[in-house]
Amino acid sequence: YWYPTLLKNGQPLPTFRAIAYYRNWDFGPTRHDTGTGNNAYPADMRVVAGDVDAPGGGAHVQWNCNQASSRPGPFRDPIEAACDKARGTTVNLGVHINFPTCWTGVLNDHNKRGNTADFHGAASRPVKNQLAYVTKAGCPAGFPHKLPQLRLALQWDYRGNGRDLTLSSSAHDGVPFNMHADFWNTWVQSGLKDMVDRCINTNTAHPHGSSVVCGS
């Protein structure tokens, strides 16, 4: 995984929590028999979620002040989040970056020069997008393979109004808070498939399969 550095008054602000959630995008209401439902990400898949051309990172990036605070979001950017106004047991600036979950079944050429992503959320970085976001009707036509939903959740020890913040990518591109993130699938493929089957493709009552194996 990769994401740009958050800067406070021009200085890096360390990320104190970064969690990658792999989930079934049907969430609780729909269960699958073990081994069915979601496909494992194919080996070497390369995805860039979020839009570097969009302030805040676009529709699939959601800023917040922690789910346990009075300002859980989603907000467009840290200024709209205004975590200085948030109350609650835990207040920290955070962001959720959601990755696409539907796949054509094909990957782009990773041996060519230039952008080798299989999906890029920004129009200014044109690639043949082999992935798409799920809609209320399901996967769009041409993207029949269902993948787990990857959500990268980041938090910083910050409770200000956001006006002293910027992103390293914003300083380069001139777009405020253009949050985005990369996922490059270099998992041991057999382990990834086992995780998807045991923790996501499951008909157990627990939303993540075995809480011991898969987390809470």
- Better-predicted residue by pLDDT, 94 or 127: 94
> What's the pLDDT band for 137 if we cut at 50, 70, 90?
confident
The DSSP code sequence of 13-37 is: --EEEEEEEEE-TT-TT----TT-S
pLDDT higher than threshold 80 for residue 172:
no
Q: What is the chain's mean pLDDT, rounded? A: 88
What per-residue confidence (pLDDT) applies to 29? 47
For residue 138, name the pLDDT band (cuts at 50, 70, 90). confident
C-alpha to C-alpha distance for 34 and 204, rounded to whole angstroms: 9
Rounded mean pLDDT of 150-156? 97
Distance CA 92, CA 67 (A): 9
**pLDDT over threshold 80, residue 191:** yes
Please state, in angstroms and rounded to a whole number, the distance separating the CA atoms of residues 184 and 186. 6
Can you read off the two tokens belonging to residue 83?
């975590």
Q: What is the mean pLDDT of residues 103-109?
A: 97
Q: pLDDT (tens digit, 9 = 90+) per residue, 81-102?
A: 999 999 998 999 999 999 999 9
For residue 71, is pLDDT > 70? yes
Taking only the tens place, the pLDDT of each residue in 11-66 is 999 999 999 998 876 554 455 555 567 899 999 999 999 998 899 999 999 999 99
Average pLDDT over residues 126-148: 91
Res 146 pLDDT > 70: yes
In this predicted structure, what is the pLDDT of residue 3?
97
| Percent of the chain predicted with pLDDT > 70 | 88
Residue 209 in this model has a pLDDT that exceeds 60: no
Location of structure tokens 């499951």? 202
Q: Which pair of tokens denotes residue 99?
A: 């990755």
Band of residue 213 on the pLDDT scale cut at 50, 70, 90: low
- In the structure encoding, which two tokens stand for residue 76, read together? 């467009």
Give the separation between CA 138 and CA 159, rounded to whole angstroms. 37
Does residue 153 surpass a pLDDT of 80? yes
